[in-house]
């Protein structure tokens, strides 16, 4: 019967082309507006590493000012100090752990005709690559031994490898960065976790860094981070060692833990660590350590901006207005066909058959609205890209994947079905004898 | 086969109560051809609508094939309409966007018959009404008489036991009306019970039995099988 209803639906659309076109347009505009914002919300709130998000934990230790929290109401700082980061790293209580921070370095190409250029660099420990499931095009990350021996090794992003080595396998080649020579151990394939979960302090939607080199080398070369550095206690002096030993938070610590037991044990370890530091005169605030997995951390950091949530609400409201219009149009259309409904009822159609016929027709209209709505969503995203083109990360937010395409169609069909409920119910109530004499 | 006892139908609005049928009683046996006549507003069409399960009645009993109609759910009433009753309307009531084949197909779709069976039945009845060469014409491409023949084909496709015809020749000229009446007689001869509402005495005489309705009651009947003792 469904094929018959689809056929009747198509016929009904052809029978009232203007009304049908208005309904399709109302749904399409509503879906376009709604899906544009939903798409941005979806990209912003997506799981950047779904295969590992439940075993990766971001660590927070409340080493902050005794007189005020790092953030109201009682939040610990969202990064760690060098002292704590290296202590946790050394303890190696998790299955794997990574300490990292971002900096800007200057690459000096071998070709003298090519001018040196700046790159975003990440100083990280060796577990960064396996923990975060970083895909490699060539080679791999460095071994832990490289961390220990301060080996000057480097991993390149795909783009910079294209730029410096023409996209060839550059493993074993050397690269000069800030006057220091590094040996390439690997080239990362396309990798764009959105949001950039491992360091949201440097822009959760910014591109990942272009080069990666050992944390220990970075510290030895006194490479300062260019992300947020927050301090609550004055430093002894402006020197590097004073900075490293300060209460300034400027690096991110992640640990890999499997299951609730490991998480509980690690929390116990963190508490014990903080207690031991308290005995040394640090950590003046009450115990307030945090372990958040990836999605908890994204929620904690409110990665989806409040204004996007407000826009989402408005977009949904707009869709509702469009659907109210659709209800009116559908009602007008169905009432115009009350004679047809009476006749079908007289010839044996039950109320449920009439309901099915008009619901399917609404679904066909919804499908049409959804398909056009996808086009309008694409236009909406392009519009946002043009409007906010100066923001580097905007490109990462305005793409539409197949999940969103399907979601747009599903939302359109469901919206149309929802809008059709009342008119269809009215259609079912049309009396079989009501219109037969006047036909 | 069809038995109405003291059936009443009252239409109510906030201020007006209209008695369309008053203690209407009638029995029709299988294979009969009954005409129902009466002036406008006498209740003929209301009777036909109730007989065809298109309307509910206010009081009385109505049994069709021994089944108490008042106890049927809407779904069961729809099924009875679909399987046992065929309708022929004065203004044909064909769906203008559907071709002849698809118009006749409508009741069969709700019967849930398989495609091949539907096709066989449709072709047979359209052939029977003499429109075999017009299967894929739209109603607008046919004359009034031909459209009524299509409506008759649609009514017959479900092989109903009852054919209810409301002024089937009302919109036709006399030649076409005669041809339609001949077709109805032929259908009746093959065993289908027909109840036909008409206001034309000449057409009513073609039926084996004529019921006259006035003020919502059976007032007289030639060959009346069971007539109500209508009391004012």
pLDDT for the residue A392: 61
Q: Could you tell me if A164 and A295 lie in one domain?
A: yes
Three-state secondary structure call for residue B51: helix
Q: Could you tell me if A77 and A148 lie in one domain?
A: yes
Q: Give whole-number Cα distances, A241 to A86, A230, B148, in Å.
A: 14, 17, 102
The parent domain of residue A32 ranges over 2-45+305-429
Q: Please name the member of B79, B93, B97 whose beta carbon is closest to the beta carbon of A343.
A: B93
The residue length of chain B stands at 232
DSSP class of B218 = E
Q: Which residue has the tokens 């399917």?
A: A360
Q: Which of A300, A332, A360 is the C-terminal boundary of a domain?
A: A300
Local confidence pLDDT in tens for the 232 residues of chain B: 889 999 999 988 878 888 888 888 999 999 999 999 988 888 888 899 999 999 888 889 999 988 898 889 989 999 999 999 999 888 888 998 899 999 999 999 999 889 999 999 999 999 988 888 888 999 999 998 899 889 989 988 888 988 999 888 887 788 888 888 888 888 899 889 999 998 888 888 888 899 899 888 888 764 344 433 333 2
Local confidence pLDDT in tens for the 439 residues of chain A: 888 889 888 888 888 888 889 999 999 999 998 888 888 887 777 788 889 999 999 999 999 999 999 888 999 999 999 999 999 999 999 999 999 999 999 999 988 888 999 999 999 999 999 999 999 999 999 999 999 999 999 999 999 999 999 999 999 999 999 999 999 999 999 998 888 999 988 778 788 999 999 999 999 999 999 888 999 988 877 799 999 999 999 999 999 999 999 999 999 999 999 999 999 999 999 999 999 999 999 888 887 767 777 888 898 999 999 999 999 998 988 888 888 888 999 999 999 999 999 999 889 999 999 999 999 988 988 888 887 766 666 676 677 788 888 988 898 899 889 988 999 998 888 877 766 654 4
Give the integer Cα–Cα distance in Å for B207 and B209. Answer: 5
Q: Which residue has the tokens 């004359």?
A: B143
DSSP class of A209 = P
Chain B contact present for A432, CB below 8 A: yes
**Contact across the interface for A346 and B82, Cβ inside 8 Å:** no
Backbone φ/ψ region at B130: left (φ over 0), alpha (ψ -120 to 50), beta: left
Residue A412 contacts residue A365 (beta carbons within 8 Å): no
Chain B contact present for A17, CB below 8 A: no
> What is the bridge-based pairing of β-strands A211-214 and A153-156?
antiparallel
Residue B42 contacts residue B217 (beta carbons within 8 Å): no
- Collect all residues of chain B within an 8 Å Cβ-Cβ radius of residue A350: 74-75, 78-79, 110
Question: To 10 degrees, what angle do helices B144-157 and B115-128 make?
Answer: 140
**Contact across the interface for B97 and A4, Cβ inside 8 Å:** no
Residue A271 contacts residue A257 (beta carbons within 8 Å): no
- Collect all residues of chain A within an 8 Å Cβ-Cβ radius of residue B56: none
Q: Please name the member of B54, B75, B91 whose beta carbon is closest to the beta carbon of A432.
A: B54
**Contact across the interface for B81 and A348, Cβ inside 8 Å:** yes
pLDDT for the residue A183: 96
> What is the bridge-based pairing of β-strands B59-64 and B2-12?
antiparallel
- Collect all residues of chain A within an 8 Å Cβ-Cβ radius of residue B95: 340, 343
What is the three-state SS of A99-157? EEEEEEEEEECCCCCCCCEEEEEEEECCCHHHHCCCCEEEECCCCHHHHHCCCCEEEEC
Give the integer Cα–Cα distance in Å for B131 and B108. Answer: 19
Q: Could you tell me if A23 and A136 lie in one domain?
A: no
Q: Which residue has the tokens 């065993």?
A: B191
ipTM of the complex: 0.88
pLDDT for the residue A393: 64
Which of A346, A357, A425, A439 is the best mutation test for B, with the most CBs of B within 10 A?
Answer: A346
Give the integer Cα–Cα distance in Å for A217 and A185. Answer: 15
Q: Which of A259, A284, A300 is the C-terminal boundary of a domain?
A: A300
Q: Could you tell me if A111 and A226 lie in one domain?
A: yes
A99 within a domain of the structure (yes/no): yes
Give the integer Cα–Cα distance in Å for A157 and A188. Answer: 5
Question: CA B17: distance to chain centroid?
Answer: 26
Rounded to 5 degrees, φ, ψ at A302 are 45, 60
- Name the residue ranges covered by the structural domains of chain B: 30-48+74-215
H-type alpha helices, B112-173: 115-128, 144-157
A345 within a domain of the structure (yes/no): yes
Residue A93 burial (CB count, 10 A): 18
- Collect all residues of chain B within an 8 Å Cβ-Cβ radius of residue A431: 54-55
Three-state secondary structure call for residue B111: helix
Which of B9, B44, B53, B54 is the best mutation test for A, with the most CBs of A within 10 A?
Answer: B54
Q: Which residue has the tokens 């204004």?
A: A307
Task: Encode pLDDT of B105-133 as tens digits.
Answer: 999 999 988 999 999 999 999 998 888 88
Q: Give whole-number Cα distances, A235 to A71, A244, B203, in Å.
A: 21, 10, 114
Omega of the bond leading into B49 within 30 degrees of 0 (cis): no
Q: Give whole-number Cα distances, A360 to A75, A170, A335, A378, B183, in Å.
A: 52, 58, 17, 27, 38
Q: Could you tell me if A29 and A122 lie in one domain?
A: no
pLDDT for the residue A68: 92
Which of B78, B118, B150 is the best mutation test for A, with the most CBs of A within 10 A?
Answer: B78
Q: Could you tell me if A73 and A184 lie in one domain?
A: yes
Q: Which of A281, A300, A319 is the C-terminal boundary of a domain?
A: A300
pLDDT for the residue B226: 42
Q: Could you tell me if A192 and A268 lie in one domain?
A: yes
pLDDT for the residue B101: 95
A120 within a domain of the structure (yes/no): yes
Question: CA B185: distance to chain centroid?
Answer: 14
Residue A393 contacts residue A206 (beta carbons within 8 Å): yes
Q: Could you tell me if A323 and A396 lie in one domain?
A: yes
Q: Please give the model's pTM, rounded to 2 decimal places.
A: 0.66
Q: Please name the member of B49, B79, B154 whose beta carbon is closest to the beta carbon of A433.
A: B49
Q: Could you tell me if A40 and A134 lie in one domain?
A: no
> What is the bridge-based pairing of β-strands A249-256 and A56-60?
antiparallel
pLDDT for the residue A390: 64
Chain B contact present for A278, CB below 8 A: no
Residues A220-248: b if buried by 16+ CB within 10 A, e if exposed: ebebebebbbeebeeeeeeeeeebeebbb
A436 within a domain of the structure (yes/no): no
A434 within a domain of the structure (yes/no): no
CATH number of the domain located at residue range(s) B30-48+74-215 in this protein? 3.40.50.300
Residue B101 contacts residue B133 (beta carbons within 8 Å): no
Q: Give whole-number Cα distances, B119 to B96, B109, B154, in Å.
A: 20, 11, 12
Give the integer Cα–Cα distance in Å for A1 and A394. Answer: 47
Rounded to 5 degrees, φ, ψ at A396 are -75, -15
Tokens of B148: 């009524």
Q: Could you tell me if A33 and A66 lie in one domain?
A: no
In chain B, the percentage of residues whose pLDDT exceeds 90 is 35
Q: Could you tell me if A31 and A65 lie in one domain?
A: no
**Contact across the interface for B89 and A436, Cβ inside 8 Å:** yes
Tokens of A113: 């005709």
Chain B contact present for A349, CB below 8 A: yes
pLDDT for the residue B227: 38
Look at the alpha carbons of A96, A156, A196, A400 in this order and tell me if their dihedral is positive or negative: negative
A111 within a domain of the structure (yes/no): yes
B164, containing H or E segment:
strand B162-166
Which of B110, B113, B154 is the best mutation test for A, with the most CBs of A within 10 A?
Answer: B110
A439 within a domain of the structure (yes/no): no
pLDDT for the residue B106: 93
Omega of the bond leading into B132 within 30 degrees of 0 (cis): no
Residue A246 contacts residue A233 (beta carbons within 8 Å): yes
Q: Could you tell me if A143 and A236 lie in one domain?
A: yes
Q: Quote the number of domains for chain A.
A: 2
A291, containing H or E segment:
strand A290-293
A68 within a domain of the structure (yes/no): yes
């Amino acid at each position: 019967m469904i094929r018959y209803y689809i056929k009747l639906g198509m016929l009904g659309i052809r029978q009232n082309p203007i009304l049908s076109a208005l309904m399709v347009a109302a749904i399409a505009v509503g879906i376009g507006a709604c899906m544009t914002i939903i798409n941005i919300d979806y990209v912003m709130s997506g799981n950047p590493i779904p295969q590992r998000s439940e075993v990766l934990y971001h660590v927070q230790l409340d080493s902050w000012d005794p007189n005020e929290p790092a953030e109201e109401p009682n939040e610990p700082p969202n990064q760690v100090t060098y002292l704590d980061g290296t202590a946790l790293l050394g303890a190696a209580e998790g299955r794997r752990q990574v300490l990292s921070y971002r900096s800007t370095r200057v690459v000096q190409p071998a070709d003298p005709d090519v001018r040196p250029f700046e790159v975003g660099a990440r100083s990280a420990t060796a577990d960064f690559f396996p923990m975060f499931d970083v895909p490699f095009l060539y080679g791999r990350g460095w071994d832990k031994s490289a961390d220990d021996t301060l080996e000057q090794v480097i991993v390149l992003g795909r783009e910079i490898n294209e730029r410096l080595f023409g996209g060839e396998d550059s493993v074993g080649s050397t690269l000069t960065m800030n006057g220091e020579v590094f040996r390439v151990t690997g080239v990362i394939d396309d990798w764009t976790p959105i949001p950039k979960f491992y360091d949201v302090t440097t822009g959760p939607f910014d591109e990942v860094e272009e080069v990666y080199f050992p944390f220990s080398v970075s510290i030895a070369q006194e490479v300062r981070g260019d992300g947020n550095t927050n301090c609550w206690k004055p430093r002894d002096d402006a020197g590097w060692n004073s900075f490293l030993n300060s209460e300034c938070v400027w690096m991110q610590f992640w640990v890999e833990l499997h299951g609730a037991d490991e998480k509980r044990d690690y929390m116990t370890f963190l508490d014990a660590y903080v207690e031991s530091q308290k005995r040394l005169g640090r950590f003046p605030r009450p115990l307030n350590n945090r372990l958040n997995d990836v999605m908890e951390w994204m929620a904690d950091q409110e990665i989806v901006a409040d204004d996007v949530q407000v826009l989402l609400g408005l977009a949904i409201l707009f869709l509702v207005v469009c659907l109210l219009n659709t209800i009116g149009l559908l009602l007008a259309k169905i009432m115009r066909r009350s004679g047809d409904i009476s006749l079908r009822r007289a010839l044996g159609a039950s109320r449920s058959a009439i309901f099915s016929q008009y619901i399917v027709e609404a679904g066909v209209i919804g499908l049409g609205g959804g398909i056009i709505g996808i086009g309008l969503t694409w236009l909406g995203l392009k519009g946002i890209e043009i409007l906010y083109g100066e923001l580097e990360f905007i490109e990462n937010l305005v793409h539409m994947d197949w999940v969103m395409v399907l979601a747009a169609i599903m939302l359109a069909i469901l919206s149309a079905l929802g809008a059709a409920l009342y008119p269809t119910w009215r259609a079912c109530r049309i009396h079989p004898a009501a219109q037969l004499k006047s036909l | 086969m069809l038995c109405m006892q003291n059936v009443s139908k009252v239409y109510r609005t906030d201020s007006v109560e209209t008695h369309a049928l008053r203690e209407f009683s009638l029995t029709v046996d299988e294979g009969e051809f009954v005409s129902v006549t009466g002036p406008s507003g006498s209740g003929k069409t209301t009777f036909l609508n109730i007989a065809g399960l298109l309307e509910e009645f206010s009081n009385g009993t109505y049994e069709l094939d021994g089944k108490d109609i008042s106890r049927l759910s809407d779904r069961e009433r729809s099924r009875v309409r679909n399987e046992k009753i065929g309708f022929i309307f004065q203004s044909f009531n064909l769906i203008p966007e559907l071709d002849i084949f698809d118009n006749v197909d409508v009741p069969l779709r709700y019967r849930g018959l398989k495609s091949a069976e539907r096709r066989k039945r449709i072709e047979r009845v359209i052939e029977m009404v003499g429109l075999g060469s017009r299967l894929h014409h739209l109603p607008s491409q046919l004359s009034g008489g031909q459209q009524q023949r299509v409506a008759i084909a649609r009514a017959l496709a479900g092989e109903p036991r009852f054919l209810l015809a409301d002024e089937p020749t009302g919109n036709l000229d006399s030649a076409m009306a005669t041809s339609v009446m001949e077709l109805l007689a032929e259908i009746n001869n093959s065993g289908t019970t027909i109840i036909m509402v008409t206001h034309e005495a000449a057409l009513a005489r073609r039926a084996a039995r004529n019921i006259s309705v006035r003020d919502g009651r059976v007032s007289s009947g030639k060959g009346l099988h069971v007539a109500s003792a209508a009391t004012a």
